[in-house]
Amino acid sequence: MRLMNLKKPLEMKRSDFLKLVSGGAALTAFLPPKLRAATRSNTFEPVEPVSIATWRFGLETTAEAMKVLRAGGSALDATEAGVKLCEADPKERSVGLGGRPDRDGFVTLDSCCMDHLGNIGSVAAVENVVHVSSLARAVMEKTPHVMLVGEGARQFAQEMGFPLQDLMVPDSKREWEKWRENSDYKPVVNIENHDTIGQLSLDEQGRLAGICTTSGMAFKMRGRVGDSPIIGAGLYVDGAIGAATATGHGEEVIRVVGSYRVVSEMERGFSPQEACERAVQKIYDFFERRQAGIQDTQIGFIALDKRGRTGAFALRPGFQYAVAQKGKAPELVDVRALLDA
């Protein structure tokens, strides 16, 4: 295993300083908080729309989002339209209908959303509701709260008119029954080349939004919740800076507040690509500090800034993300990784 040569996140060499200055970020990273805040742009200027999403299914979800964006729709509407395609697909084993159950045989879903103004909504451990992304948005728009979980979230879904249905499809049930023969509980890196879907969009008005949605780790302990519904971990959006979302081993993303960390690095003046790299490096550093095994762990981040620039980075090879831009077909990108196989 070879470790890619990256700068430590908390180091700032002379070359980094010059890079920040020459890239137009000037001394933002070194300013006091009040002065740094003054450098942020809180205006939302017209831009070319962009939508990006984790994994191969992002090709379809970003294409759907671009339909909304080309018609002048909002980034949040576009992102929701995209991820709902994936949630409704019974062939997807890690999102929505068709998601793998927990070790007791219950399919539970998690999701969160965030817009350019900092409005947030989240649901976790929800049973019998396919479109938890829309449910998270309903929490954001229809309640005074930011997160509902379990039976309370399902009750709210009923009150809002969401249809309830059994989420355990035959393929998932067969996988669960086979798993029960050995009950070997551990994450599988890049399982079937997909995992959580996180999607970020930028609309023509310069507004950013993001949604993260998942059925969580296969055969998890009942009640386990990962990073996906946690604002700052699985998703974070700052309309004046950019947005980020995560996929992979949720416990490790939570540990470093991963998506917020990516956006925070962009605020310091780093590009979306550099910001993702620095967040992955921090996760690796935590593994080193704890002397914990890393062989079964994969983490990936994608990021989009308010100028439409994108970036992505992973802990190990195999991660992909989709990029859709106006006038172009969605493109699947192989993501660089910190660790080589």
Which residue in the list 28, 54, 79, 196 is annotated as catalytic? 196
At 20 the three-state DSSP class reads helix
- Rounded (to 5) percent helix, strand, coil in the chain: 35, 20, 45
Task: Specify which residues 310 forms β-bridges with.
Answer: 304
For the residues of 164-225, what is the DSSP string, one character each? Answer: ------HHHHHHHHHHTTT------TTGGG---EEEEEE-TTS-EEEEEEE--STTPPTT--
> What's at 280, amino acid-wise?
V
First to last CA, the chain: 5
**Which strands sit side by side in the sheet containing 50-54, from one edge to the other?**
147-149, 120-126, 109-115, 208-214, 197-202, 50-54, 320-325, 331-334
DSSP-assigned letter for residue 307: T
196: annotated active-site residue = yes
188's tokens: 């599988």
Count of other CB atoms within 10 angstroms of residue 219: 20
Q: How far apart are CA 316 and CA 248, in angstroms?
A: 11
- The candidate with the shortest Cα–Cα distance to 202, out of 46, 320, 312, 37, is 46
R_g over Cα of the chain: 19
Report residue 145 as tokens: 């709260």
SS3 assignment, position 129: coil
Cα torsion through 96, 101, 107, 110, rounded to 10: -60
Q: Return the structure tokens found at 109.
A: 């879903």
Positions annotated as catalytic residues are: 196
